[in-house]
Structures are given as structure tokens and as C-alpha cells.
């Protein structure tokens, strides 16, 4: 009994051993044989391991036809096969079979000699009846005479949301080359090992993004984290996300089963999970593709088409369409320069196939960027090539300039009115716009406005009132008919929208005073789940930002350091040792990231950006 108590205490600390033993010893003697069974309360206790073979820490384990056996106190099933994880991993995942109350794990290839291994069962096994998940166990064993005893811990987060990433593979590669000491840190350029071979040790992150790589050798390592599309334990830059530590690491902690970082907790035990210490933190990012080429093209209509490139910042020297004068082409890149829109500024009917020629730097067979001229066939969509069978088949967009006017009460002060045309304009008269407003006394007045063309979309224009908008006023913007003509030769119909500032007394506002602004930053107000940007500003000096008309709820502030000042959140590059641009979330004094904004509240926060990004 003492041996069972010790075993249970070691491998399942989440359940008091005394309770388990009492139920085993007295379950028969305490049964009421005169009352028919009622089914009893639902079983919520996860299974418990009662026997291991080989025992934890065993050395000289055979390398051929190795089998590991885990016997539980009840019948179990394997719920998540991929969570039976061997470190260092092999080419193929471990095999398993169920025999009675035991899970027997084997391998398709021989183990390496004189190597320490760990087999992790975290969130892989559940009891057969109620599906209660077994928290997990890491079994360490060696095929040599000694067992490696060091460990490292850390956490993996998404580089944009800083939310923990579950299921990422954290990899260690032994370093055997020369290193440089910079500011007491061992640094080396990144190499290609993570692209070519499986790691020397690895672990998977749990629901909290936490990992513990244990029973490793006391030596220098490179550390990477990969979120794989295909579970082969090798980094694929075209499909996977990656993170890395800039410097070499060396484990400093000896494995001890009493450490919280080694203990397997239920993922619902928030306090215990958050109490674990992370020695390293990594941010996952999607690398920019290394190859440049045209990957897609489509003709969207009679006079419009687009092409997309595999990598951003395409270096295009010139484009032309066979038989179309150069001055008749209108083109527009997106901000990342990986998508190019093309329009033919000619109302005449165009050929069924346009031959687009693109002169650009394309990746050659040696992996180098070289000048190349590529011809792209752009075939007219069927629906535009078919003649209209009758007058009733002709739509409004077939005879007029199509546009939309967008305005939102909550953001009109920041973003104004947005007018976006479907096709580029060849004639415009923005001075003919009619901007007027009604005051609370129903007196109509004309207002002044400014018009600016969007820097990233030549079909979009921003109309902003000159005078500050007032509560209780209704504002109107009208686009008169026959003032704008697009490349199809069509003129516009008239359209009008109106807007008033929100007047709900329950709305709140948030003001951010930002100090020590030494670089360019992107400031976003996000919802509680961090999946929706509510407002956004770009700043490069000390300022106060106002976020008005906020409904009661929880929000967070994301601030991105835009060092290259391009207005984008740039990703990293593994071989160049370039991390993604730094993202920080404003942390309140109580350590949380969520700002709880009640109804009818004017909330103010001060943020020192130099301190935040230190």
C-alpha cells in the first residue's frame, strides 16, 4: 500500500492520494446491498496511472522494438493521438495500442543509442466512460548508462495578439560552432538546421502556451518554436509559423518532480498554470515568402484585372498590354506591394483576351532575383462577354458610375465620409459636393469640407467637415448627378447620406495620453477577445488620443513599434535573425491587460512608451 501511495502521489498530484486509497480499500465494505443502484453522481475524476514500464528514469533501455506501458486504474481511450509525443522526435509519430487498462506505446524505427528520451502524454488520454482527460505524464528514460537531467521552460505567443499559442512545437538544436559574447549573451547567426532536420529535443505547448523541455543535456542550444501545418517536426516556411530566440541558450535548472513547471496540472486550474515560471518567451510569426513570382491573375471585367505576387514588395520595372497604349493603363499596388490592380482607361469594347506583360525581378532556379518578362493571359469573364438579351437584363451598374458613401456616427469625427468608386475616375468635380446640416432649431446651413484621395486606394476619397461636429446636429453629404465619369465612360447618379453624433447617455469615452514617443507607433483599441480593431491611430510624437462613444465593456490597447515607419506591422525573417516588429499591450497596475469601461464614464490613462517598450 505504501508503494501505491508513493506512486500515485508522484504521478497524479492533482488528486489527494488518501481519497483514492480510501475509495479502493472501503468501496466493497461500505456498499448498501439492500438498496438498488441509482447510478450515483457523475464521475468527474480523471484516470490515475498505477503502473509504469519501464519505471521513470530507467537507463539502458533497448533501442530495438522498444515498448512503453502505462497502466491505469480504469479503462481508458486515446483521445488525441498527436499528443503522445516523443522527444527527440522521430520521422513518424509513436504507435499505440490498448490492452486491458494499459496503453502500450511503440515506435516504427529504432531508438538512438546513448540518448535520453522523454515520452509525454499530456492531454492525450481520457477515461472510457465519461471522457475525463488525464492531465499527463512525462516519462524519462535512456538508451545509455546515464540520464540527462537539465530542463528549460517558456511560453509561446502570437506576435500580433500576444495570446498564448496551444500546440506549437518548441525545438532545441545542439550548437557545436563558434559563438560571440555580446553584452554577456552568447549570440550566433541563425542556421538552416530547423529547415532540414528534426530537433535534438522538443516539447509541445499547452493551452496556456507553456512548455517544459526536460531531461536534456547540459550544453548550448538554439531554440525555435514552430506551429506546423504538417506534423513532421521540420520547419516549412511556406506553410508554418515560427519563433526563435536571438541568442544561444544553456539550461540552468535541474529536473525536479516537485517543481510547478514540471507538474502536470488540469488546464482549468488557472492559478496553478499561471504560477509556472517561463524562462523564455517567443512570439510566433509567418515569414515573408522567400521566392518571388506571379502566383495568381484574374480579369474581373471588361476593363479591370489584377495579379498577385508570392512575396511582398514586388520589384516591377514596367507593365504593358499588347495593343493598348501605355497612357491608357491605370495601375495601383496595395500597401504590401504583393497585389496589383490594372484598369484599361478606354470605354471601347476590349478583346476577349488581353495579353499583359510584366517586367519584374523573379526568383530564378538558383534562388536569386533576376530580371524577367512574363506574359499573363487575361480572359474576359463569360458574364461580361455575353450580350444583353433584353432591356430588362441591363443593370444600373451597366450604365452609370457605381460608388458608395460610407459614414458611421461613432467614427465620423476621425474618419469623415468615405466615397469609394468601383472604377477609377477620368472626370471629377468634388467642389460640387453638397455638405449641409440642420441645427436643433431645424435651421439648414451650408458647411465647408475638404477632400483627400486615399493614399492606398485611388478610387477612394475622404470628405471631412472643416468645422467641429456638434451634438444634436444632423449632417448631410450629397453627391450630385452627372459630376463624375469613370473609365467606362459612364456618369454618376445622385446620392445622399446623413449622420448624427451618437447621443446615448450611456456611452463612455477613453483618452490616452502618450509620452516619451521616440519612434512611430500604431495604436489600436481592440475588443476583449483581441480579434477586432475598433479604432486605430498612427503617431510619432507625444499626444493625447480620444476614443469617444464607447459602449460599456472590456477593451485592450495594442501598441506596435513601427521602426521602419511604413504603417505596417512587419513580420520577421528567421535566417536574417529579424524578429517581427514589437507589439505590446498596455498593462494596468493590477497586472491585467483589459480596461473595464463602465457606462457613462470618461476614463483617462497615461502611457510611457519608452518604459512600455524597454
Sign of the Cα pseudo-torsion (318, 322, 327, 331, in order): negative
Same domain as 359, residue 268: no
Q: Does the pLDDT value for residue 257 go beyond 80?
A: yes
From 194-203, 210-219, 305-314, 568-577, the region with the lowest mean pLDDT:
568-577
The structural domain count of the chain equals: 5
The predicted pLDDT at position 383 comes to 63
Q: 62-108: per-residue pLDDT in tens?
A: 999 999 999 999 999 999 898 999 999 998 999 999 999 999 999 99
The CA distance from 109 to 116, in Å, is: 16
- Provide the CATH number for the domain around residue 65: 2.60.40.3710
The predicted pLDDT at position 522 comes to 95
Whether residue 591 is contained in a domain is answered as: yes
Same domain as 434, residue 353: no
Domain span at residue 572 reads 508-612
- Using an 8 Å Cβ cutoff, are 237 and 192 in contact? no
- Using an 8 Å Cβ cutoff, are 472 and 439 in contact? yes
Q: Does the pLDDT value for residue 35 go beyond 90?
A: no
Residue 551 φ/ψ, nearest 5 degrees: -75, 155
First to last CA, the chain: 55
Three cell numbers, residue 540 = 510619432
* Edge-first strand listing for the sheet containing 508-515: 543-550, 508-515, 602-608
The residue from 103, 121, 147 where one domain ends is: 147
Q: For residue 51, which of 127, 115, 112, 137 has the smallest C-alpha distance?
A: 137
Convert 371-410 to b/e letters by CB count within 10 Å (16 or more is b). ebeeebebebeeebeeeeeeeeeeeeeeebbbbeeebeeb
The pairing of beta strand 150-158 with beta strand 280-284: parallel
- Provide the CATH number for the domain around residue 557: 2.60.40.10
The pairing of beta strand 138-142 with beta strand 241-244: unpaired
- Provide the CATH number for the domain around residue 206: 2.60.40.1120
Whether residue 97 is contained in a domain is answered as: yes
Whether residue 118 is contained in a domain is answered as: yes
Residue 278 φ/ψ, nearest 5 degrees: -105, 120
The predicted pLDDT at position 417 comes to 98
Same domain as 325, residue 282: no
Same domain as 199, residue 70: no
Whether residue 388 is contained in a domain is answered as: no
Same domain as 18, residue 88: yes
Task: Give CA separation, 378 vs 92, 250, 324, in Å.
Answer: 45, 56, 13
Whether residue 90 is contained in a domain is answered as: yes
- Provide the CATH number for the domain around residue 301: 2.60.40.1220
Same domain as 54, residue 118: yes
Q: Is 138 helix (H, G, I), strand (E, B) or coil?
A: strand
Whether residue 389 is contained in a domain is answered as: no
Same domain as 160, residue 184: yes
Same domain as 136, residue 37: yes
Same domain as 143, residue 20: yes
Same domain as 7, residue 106: yes
The CA distance from 275 to 345, in Å, is: 64
Label residue 196 by pLDDT band (50, 70, 90). Answer: confident
The residue from 236, 267, 286 where one domain ends is: 286
The CA distance from 302 to 385, in Å, is: 8
Three cell numbers, residue 329 = 493603363
Three cell numbers, residue 206 = 499547452
Three cell numbers, residue 186 = 552568447
Whether residue 265 is contained in a domain is answered as: yes
Name residue, grid cell 540518448: 115
Same domain as 257, residue 215: yes
Q: Does the pLDDT value for residue 399 go beyond 90?
A: no
The residue from 267, 286, 305 where one domain ends is: 286
> 16-20, 79-83, 388-392 — which one is most confidently predicted on average?
79-83
Instruction: Give all strands (DSSP E) within 300-448, no chain letters.
Output: 304-309, 316-321, 329-333, 339-344, 353-363, 369-379, 403-406, 417-421, 425-427, 434-438, 444-446
Whether residue 386 is contained in a domain is answered as: no
The predicted pLDDT at position 565 comes to 83
Same domain as 154, residue 142: no
Count the Cβ atoms, other than its own, within 10 Å of residue 487.
21
The predicted pLDDT at position 382 comes to 80
Amino acid at each position: 500500500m505504501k508503494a501505491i501511495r508513493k506512486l500515485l502521489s508522484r504521478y497524479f498530484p492533482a488528486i489527494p492520494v488518501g481519497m483514492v486509497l480510501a475509495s479502493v480499500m472501503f468501496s466493497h465494505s461500505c456498499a448498501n446491498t439492500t438498496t438498488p443502484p441509482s447510478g450515483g453522481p457523475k464521475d468527474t475524476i480523471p484516470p490515475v496511472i498505477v503502473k509504469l514500464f519501464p519505471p521513470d528514469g530507467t537507463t539502458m533501455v533497448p533501442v530495438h522494438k522498444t515498448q512503453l506501458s502505462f497502466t491505469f486504474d480504469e479503462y481508458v481511450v486515446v483521445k488525441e493521438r498527436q499528443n503522445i509525443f516523443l522527444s527527440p522526435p522521430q520521422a513518424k509519430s509513436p504507435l499505440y495500442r490498448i490492452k486491458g487498462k494499459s496503453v502500450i506505446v511503440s515506435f516504427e524505427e529504432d531508438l538512438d543509442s546513448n540518448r535520453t528520451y522523454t515520452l509525454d502524454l499530456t492531454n492525450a488520454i481520457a477515461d472510457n466512460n465519461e471522457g475525463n482527460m488525464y492531465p499527463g505524464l512525462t516519462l524519462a528514460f535512456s538508451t545509455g548508462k546515464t540520464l540527462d537531467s537539465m530542463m528549460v521552460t517558456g511560453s509561446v505567443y502570437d506576435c500580433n495578439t500576444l495570446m498564448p499559442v496551444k500546440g506549437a512545437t518548441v525545438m532545441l538544436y545542439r550548437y557545436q560552432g563558434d559563438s560571440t559574447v555580446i553584452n554577456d549573451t552568447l549570440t550566433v547567426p541563425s542556421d538552416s538546421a530547423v529547415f532540414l532536420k528534426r530537433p535534438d529535443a522538443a516539447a509541445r505547448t499547452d493551452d496556456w502556451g507553456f512548455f517544459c523541455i526536460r531531461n536534456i543535456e547540459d550544453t548550448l542550444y538554439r531554440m525555435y518554436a514552430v506551429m506546423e501545418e504538417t506534423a513532421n517536426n521540420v520547419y516549412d516556411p511556406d506553410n508554418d509559423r515560427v519563433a526563435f530566440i536571438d541568442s544561444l541558450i544553456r539550461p540552468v535548472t535541474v529536473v525536479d518532480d516537485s517543481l510547478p513547471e514540471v507538474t502536470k496540472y488540469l488546464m482549468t486550474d488557472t492559478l496553478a498554470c499561471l504560477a509556472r515560471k517561463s524562462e523564455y518567451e517567443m512570439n510566433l510569426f509567418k515569414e515573408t515568402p522567400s521566392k518571388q513570382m506571379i502566383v495568381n491573375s484574374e480579369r474581373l471585367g471588361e476593363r479591370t484585372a489584377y495579379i498577385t505576387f508570392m512575396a511582398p514588395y514586388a520589384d516591377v520595372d514596367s507593365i504593358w498590354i499588347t495593343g493598348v497604349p501605355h497612357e491608357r493603363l491605370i495601375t495601383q499596388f496595395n500597401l504590401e506591394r504583393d497585389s496589383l490592380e490594372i484598369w484599361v482607361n478606354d470605354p471601347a469594347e476590349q478583346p476577349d483576351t488581353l495579353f499583359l506583360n510584366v517586367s519584374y525581378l523573379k526568383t530564378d532556379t538558383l534562388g536569386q532575383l533576376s530580371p524577367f518578362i512574363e506574359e499573363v493571359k487575361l480572359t474576359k469573364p463569360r458574364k461580361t462577354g455575353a450580350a444583353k438579351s433584353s432591356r430588362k437584363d441591363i443593370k444600373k451598374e451597366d450604365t452609370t458610375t457605381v460608388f458608395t458613401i460610407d459614414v458611421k456616427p461613432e467614427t465620423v469625427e476621425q474618419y469623415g465620409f468615405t466615397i469609394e468608386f468601383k472604377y477609377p475616375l477620368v472626370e471629377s468635380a468634388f467642389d460640387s459636393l453638397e455638405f449641409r446640416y440642420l441645427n436643433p432649431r431645424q435651421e439648414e446651413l451650408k458647411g465647408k469640407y475638404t477632400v483627400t484621395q486615399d493614399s492606398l486606394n485611388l478610387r477612394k476619397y475622404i470628405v471631412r467637415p472643416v468645422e467641429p461636429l456638434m451634438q444634436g446636429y444632423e449632417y448631410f453629404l450629397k453627391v450630385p448627378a452627372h459630376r463624375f465619369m469613370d473609365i467606362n465612360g459612364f456618369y454618376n447618379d445622385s446620392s445622399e447620406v446623413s449622420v448624427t453624433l451618437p447621443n446615448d447617455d450611456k456611452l463612455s469615452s477613453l483618452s490616452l495620453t502618450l509620452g516619451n514617443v521616440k519612434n512611430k507607433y500604431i495604436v489600436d483599441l481592440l475588443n476583449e477577445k483581441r480579434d477586432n480593431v475598433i479604432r486605430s491611430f498612427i503617431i510619432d510624437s507625444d499626444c493625447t488620443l480620444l476614443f469617444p462613444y464607447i459602449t460599456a465593456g472590456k477593451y485592450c490597447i495594442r501598441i506596435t513599434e513601427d521602426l521602419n515607419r511604413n504603417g505596417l506591422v512587419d513580420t520577421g525573417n528567421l535566417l536574417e535573425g529579424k524578429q517581427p516588429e514589437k507589439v505590446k499591450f498596455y498593462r494596468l497596475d493590477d497586472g491585467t491587460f483589459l480596461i473595464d469601461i463602465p457606462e457613462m464614464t470618461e476614463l483617462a490613462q497615461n502611457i510611457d512608451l519608452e518604459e512600455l517598450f524597454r
